[in-house]
Amino acid sequence: MPFKKNILCIGAGYVGGPTMAMIAAKCPQYKVLVVDINHKRINEWNSDNLPIYEPGLDELVKAARGRNLFFSNEIEKGIRDADIIFVSVNTPTKTFGQGSGMAADLQYWEKTARQILANSDRDKIIVEKSTLPVRTAKAMERILNSNGGNIKFEVLSNPEFLAEGSAIKDLENPDRVLIGSRETEEGIRARKELVDIYANWVPREKIIESNVWSSELSKLTANAFLAQRVSSINSLSALCEATEADIEEVAYAIGTDSRIGNKFLKASVGFGGSCFKKDILNLVYICRTYGLNEPADYWDSVVRINEWQERRFVLSMLSNMFNTVAGKKIAVLGFAFKANTGDTRESPAIYITRGLIEERALVNVSDPKALGNAREDLKDIREGLEYIEDPYKAAEGAHAIAVLTEWDIYRNLDYKKIFDSMVKPAFVFDGRNILNHRKLFEMGFNVFAIGKTPLKHF
Ligand SMILES: NC(=O)c1ccc[n+]([C@@H]2O[C@H](COP(=O)([O-])OP(=O)(O)OC[C@H]3O[C@@H](n4cnc5c(N)ncnc54)[C@H](O)[C@@H]3O)[C@@H](O)[C@H]2O)c1
């Protein structure tokens, strides 16, 4: 049976892979091809060992792969055959030149735009799936329409709001899908084509349509607001520790106010992930470009508070362990930036492990899914570091354990067994507030959590 349309996605990463798997699963009438320059990644997408871990992803891919979902390195052929092209390449923070450390690095994105132009012989709809600075669609249109006007490209913005760790659930049942287009006749027609794809499984009232600039800016704004809530509660966690208030009680009390709401009010060692920091810094850079220094400073402080919270955690470990961790074994439980993912990009665990190693601690890093990435992140460290998946073994003979990822398995460990195997006095630093602190204290641990009065035996 011929397919109704050919969908192509350029970029087979954390967004491109799961998003296209969901479209293929929900829309058997479309052929979905995902391409990437990275051969290893594509081989893994075609194997039983997918390149990323997400609950539910294996099943989804296996059901559609070979039927209407395909992974390949043949980018140019993919472009030629496609009617609709999603661009989901990475847009990291620029590390050189103008805007270094803040602006989005658009080189991968621009290369893609030029490649699309070079390999197209008929009209196509281009969908920005990557997170991009507001007004990027304008630049994309300029590049794509530099062909003398024979072929028409309509550029849509369709930012992705999935959260890693719950990507499949989020894709299957999104809070909303946002589609922005030019408000011309052709723009609206292209927008409708994309609406029709999502309408195969997303209720129509959850598909929001807007102008293309609002759509681009909404993605940066959403991440800035989410991160801002984390930094707000984290900033107050320090005040709780100083005043015997309890951050969880405060968060509960304010979260019951329907104007505030209770989500994203969990105090922690800090936010990580590939997006929050990079997207806020990008927002800051854009504000500065428009001469808007006060909004830039405001959003910049969200990132600064996060860095301060990570630093504070290391300093708290140091000062509470008698001002030295040199030669002491510390078990880091959790290296992923959040539970249910192997992704460690910008994970607070990277900063904290490095901080402990600088203090000459001996660190055992443990994680159920992220040790491969952890090894890569810390590959320059030659001494004092071990990777041990079994949390009991990681904690054996340790002076302290630091919980840095909220994996469920860490909630239910046999902490009595762990305590018995540790050097005394034994310390727990709960960077995610997931453990039963009173119980641990009664076992004999000295317990330090975020935004809570420490429970100490001395
Ligand atoms: N990870 C998330 O949770 C998330 C959520 C929402 C939005 N986003 C945004 O989505 C975009 C992609 O993020 P990601 O996490 O999937 O990144 P990723 O690094 O996991 O994947 C990007 C992929 O694009 C490929 N690529 C780069 N240039 C290419 C080219 N010219 N041709 C073909 N392939 C190319 C890379 O090899 C890589 O596999 C980013 O803009 C990000 O900000 C990410």
Adjacent-strand bridge partners of 205: none
CA of 284 to the centre of ligand 1 (A): 21
Note if 240 is an active site residue. Answer: no
CA of 107 to the centre of ligand 1 (A): 12
Taking CA atoms only, the protein residue closest to ligand 1 atom 18 is 13
Q: Taking 70 as the threshold, does the pLDDT of residue 166 lie above it?
A: yes
The predicted pLDDT at position 149 comes to 72
384 DSSP 8-state letter: S
Instruction: Indicate if ligand 1 lies below 6 Å from the C-beta of 113.
Output: no
Contact 128, 136 (CB under 8 A): yes
Beta strands in 49-171 (DSSP E): 69-72, 84-87, 124-128, 153-157
Instruction: Indicate if ligand 1 lies below 6 Å from the C-beta of 343.
Output: no
Query: What backbone phi and psi angles, to 5 degrees, belong to 9?
Result: -125, 125
The predicted pLDDT at position 5 comes to 95
Residue type, 77: K
Separation of alpha carbons 358 and 360, rounded Å: 5
Tokens matching residue 300: 């910049």
CA-based nearest residue to 8, from 30, 28, 40, 27: 30
Separation of alpha carbons 75 and 33, rounded Å: 10
CA of 35 to the centre of ligand 1 (A): 11
Residue type, 59: E
Instruction: Indicate if ligand 1 lies below 6 Å from the C-beta of 136.
Output: no
| Residue 37 CA, distance from chain mean position | 21
Separation of alpha carbons 405 and 336, rounded Å: 6
Cβ neighbours for 125, distance < 8 A, ≥ 6 positions apart = 83, 84, 85, 153, 154, 156, 190, 193, 194
Q: Which helix (H) or strand (E) holds 372?
A: helix 371-377
The predicted pLDDT at position 225 comes to 98
Separation of alpha carbons 146 and 45, rounded Å: 34
What number of helices (H) and strands (E) belong to the chain?
A: 18, 14
pLDDT digits (tens, 9 = 90+) for 255-272: 999 999 999 999 999 999
Cβ neighbours for 145, distance < 8 A, ≥ 6 positions apart = 152, 153
Which atom of ligand 1 is the closest one to the Cα of 161?
6
Taking CA atoms only, the protein residue closest to ligand 1 atom 13 is 90
The predicted pLDDT at position 156 comes to 97
CA of 88 to the centre of ligand 1 (A): 5
pLDDT band at 443 (very low <50, low <70, confident <90, very high): very high
Cα dihedral 161, 407, 366, 167 in deg (nearest 10): -20
Cβ neighbours for 53, distance < 8 A, ≥ 6 positions apart = 340, 341, 342, 369
Share the mean pLDDT of the chain: 97
CA-based nearest residue to 125, from 134, 138, 116, 136: 116
CA-based nearest residue to 86, from 101, 96, 94, 75: 75
CA-based nearest residue to 70, from 9, 3, 126, 130: 9
Q: Taking 90 as the threshold, does the pLDDT of residue 146 lie above it?
A: no
CA of 428 to the centre of ligand 1 (A): 36
Q: How many CB atoms lie within 10 A of CB 370?
A: 25
The predicted pLDDT at position 150 comes to 84
The predicted pLDDT at position 387 comes to 98
pLDDT digits (tens, 9 = 90+) for 16-74: 999 999 999 999 999 999 999 999 999 999 999 999 999 999 999 999 999 999 999 99
Separation of alpha carbons 197 and 215, rounded Å: 18
Q: Please give, one letter per residue, the 3-state secondary structure of 162-173.
A: CCCCCHHHHHHC
Q: Over the Cα atoms of the chain, what is R_g?
A: 24
Cβ neighbours for 316, distance < 8 A, ≥ 6 positions apart = 429, 448
Residue type, 224: A
**212-458 fold:** Rossmann fold (3.40.50)
CA-based nearest residue to 431, from 307, 265, 268: 268
Separation of alpha carbons 194 and 387, rounded Å: 45
Q: Which helix (H) or strand (E) holds 95?
A: none
HSE of 67, CA atoms in CB hemisphere, 13 A: 14
Give me the mean pLDDT over the 373-401 stretch: 98
Taking CA atoms only, the protein residue closest to ligand 1 atom 44 is 15
Contact 128, 140 (CB under 8 A): yes
Taking CA atoms only, the protein residue closest to ligand 1 atom 10 is 130
Tell me the residue length of the chain: 458
Beta strands in 357-411 (DSSP E): 362-366, 385-387, 400-403
Taking CA atoms only, the protein residue closest to ligand 1 atom 7 is 160
The predicted pLDDT at position 187 comes to 96
Contact 307, 234 (CB under 8 A): no
Q: Which residue has the tokens 């609002």?
A: 214
pLDDT band at 335 (very low <50, low <70, confident <90, very high): very high
Q: Which of 71, 90, 114 to mutate to test the pocket of ligand 1 (most atoms within 8 A of CB)?
A: 90
Q: Where in the chain is the domain with CATH 3.40.50.720?
A: 5-202, 212-458
Architecture field, domain 5-202: 3-Layer(aba) Sandwich (3.40)
Q: Taking 80 as the threshold, does the pLDDT of residue 217 lie above it?
A: yes
The predicted pLDDT at position 1 comes to 65
